[in-house]
Structure formats: C-alpha cells, structure tokens
Amino acid sequence: MSSPRTRSLAPLPLVGVLAVGFALAIAAPAAAHNFIVSSTPADGENLTELPEQWQITTNETLLDLGGQGAGFALLVSDEQGLFYGDGCVTIDGPGLSTPAALGADGAYTLTYQFVSADGHTLSGELPFTWQAPADFEPHVGLAEPPVCGETASAPAPEPTATAEPQPDVTDEPVVDAEPVEPVSDDASLIVIAVFIAVVVAIAGVVTAALMRARGRRKAEQTDGPEGADL
Ligand SMILES: [Cu+2]
C-alpha cells in the first residue's frame, strides 16, 4: 500500500506548486493596484463628530503625475445628491484627504477616486451615517460637485448668495452698454446729417455751375447765330 500511496502522492506537490504559481500569476497584476488600508469615515461608520479631514490611506504611494492631483477626488454627498466640501484634495504619499464638511443628520456617501502606483485609476464609494452633536452648524449642500479654488469651503450659503448678485453684476455692464449705443446712434445721426448737408451743398454747387454753364452756352448760341446772320 505504501508504494501506490507514494506514487499517487508524488504528483500532488507538483500540482500544488503549479496551482500556487498559477494563482500568483493571476494575483500579481491585481496586487499592483493600491488598496485601501484605512479611511475616515470607515465603510458604514456612524459618525457623531465631524473629523477635520476625510481621508483614504492606501498600501502604496499613489501616482500623482505632475503633482496636480489629476484623477484624484474625494466627494461627500447626501441622500438628496447635494455635495459638501471645497473639492480640494491633498495627496500625500499613499493617502489622499480633503477638508470635512457635512449638513444635517442622515446618510452620506464618500466617493473617492485615486491613481494607483501602477497608473490605474480606481474609484469607489464609502457609505456612512451622520448624527451631529448638539452644537453643530450644518453646512448647506451644493447642487454641483465643488471645484477646488472656485467653491468656498465652510459657509456654503455664501457661494449661492454671491452667485445671485453675479447676474446683476453682468446686467450692469449691459445697462451701461445700452446708453453707449444711443450715443453712437446720435453720432451716426450727426454723421448722416453732415453727409446729407455736404451732398446738398455739393448738389447746389454743381447745379449752380451747370446753370451758369448752360447760361453761358445759351449766350454763345444766341451770339453765334446773330453774328453769322450779320
Ligand atoms: Cu492596476
């Protein structure tokens, strides 16, 4: 029984080695992707205190080509699809972060996107819930995802407040532009009037010249035949 057993066992380590090798060959490219080691908030966490930053830490240094944060994002949105924060993402080695902001109590989602060390862009979502402390002042949600440098972070009502007068500001130059047009119309009217006056004057001069010439020709004609008759 010992000889068949060894014979049957002999191929098993080989199969095992092949299987492990095959598994590693498949796993190797996948292992090149960065994976999340820790995050704030954690997946499904119930937050009762607003952290300073939303944060995602991966296992490896992220690929921030050109240091511009291209391909990186951390966005927090509520159940109504409103966004919170300033849209600015800081990439530091294996992690990325953004200043934290939230509105009223409820369910939220942290959507992340980062560029792996191997150049692949990965994204995902971390749902969490929010139970604000009593003294918390909720931020007002933004209808559009915040853009770093264009969206103010803390008091969200201000961007909408400044966004409303902006059409008025753009209206004002239009209102200013309109009086300019009548002025230019007046100017063109003057030009037309001057042009007409010049044309009338020229016509008058030409008519006078023609009449004088005709008169001279008449005088010559009357003089001519008379002279011939004589
Ligand atoms: Cu990859």
Residues of the chain with pLDDT under 70: 1-31, 152-196, 198-200, 202, 204-207, 209-210, 213-230
Is residue 14 domain-resident? no
Same domain, 109 and 149: yes
Among 120, 154, 188, where does a domain finish? Answer: 154
87: Cβ contacts below 8 Å, ≥ 6 apart: 75, 98, 145, 146, 147, 148, 150, 151
* Cβ within 8 Å of residue 76, ≥6 positions away: 54, 83, 84, 85, 100, 101, 102, 108, 109, 110, 111
Is 93 within the bounds of a domain? Answer: yes
Please give the pLDDT value at position 17.
52
Q: How far away, in angstroms, is 143 Cα from ligand 1 center? A: 33
Q: Please check whether residue 202 lies inside any domain of the structure.
A: yes
18 is a domain residue: no
Spatial contact of 130 and 54, defined as CB atoms under 8 Å apart = no
Instruction: Report how far ligand 1's centroid is from the alpha carbon of 33 (Å).
Output: 4
pLDDT of amino acid 230: 39
Q: Verify that 106 and 190 share a domain, yes or no.
A: no
Instruction: Specify the pLDDT at position 196.
Output: 62
Residue 77 lies in a domain: yes
Neighbours of 113 (CB within 10 A): 16
Q: Examine the domain organization and report whether 133 and 202 are in the same domain.
A: no
Question: Is the same domain home to 147 and 172?
Answer: no
Are residues 98 and 210 part of one domain?
Answer: no
Single residue among 136, 154, 172 that ends a domain in this structure = 154
Please indicate, yes or no, whether residues 139 and 179 belong to a single structural domain of this protein: no
Strand ordering across the sheet containing 73-78: 46-47, 121-130, 106-115, 73-78, 83-84
Structure-token match 């530091």, residue found:
92
pLDDT of residue 9: 47
Q: Do residues 128 and 229 both lie within one domain?
A: no
Distance 213 CA to ligand 1 centre (A): 98
The domain boundary, picked from 134, 154, 174, lies at 154
Expressed in angstroms and rounded, the spacing between residue 41 Cα and the centre of ligand 1 is 24
> What digits encode the pLDDT tens for the residues 118-128?
999 999 999 99
Q: In the prediction, which pLDDT does 212 show?
A: 74
Q: What is the distance between the alpha carbons of residues 68 and 11, in angstroms, rounded to a whole number?
A: 54
Residues 197, 144, single domain; the answer is no
> Could you tell me the CATH number of the domain that includes residue 84?
2.60.40.1220
Q: Kindly state whether residues 171 and 227 are assigned to the same domain.
A: yes
Mark whether 133 and 40 lie in a shared domain. Answer: yes
pLDDT value at position 32? 77
The answer to whether residue 26 is domain-embedded is no
Q: Which residues surround ligand 1, an ion (CB under 5 A)?
A: 32-33, 116, 118, 120
Q: What is the pTM of this model?
A: 0.55
Give the structural domain span for 45: 33-154
Same structural domain, 88 and 147: yes
Question: What is the tally of structural domains in the chain?
Answer: 2
H or E segment and range at residue 24: helix 11-31
Q: How far is the CA of 94 from the centre of ligand 1 (A)?
A: 15
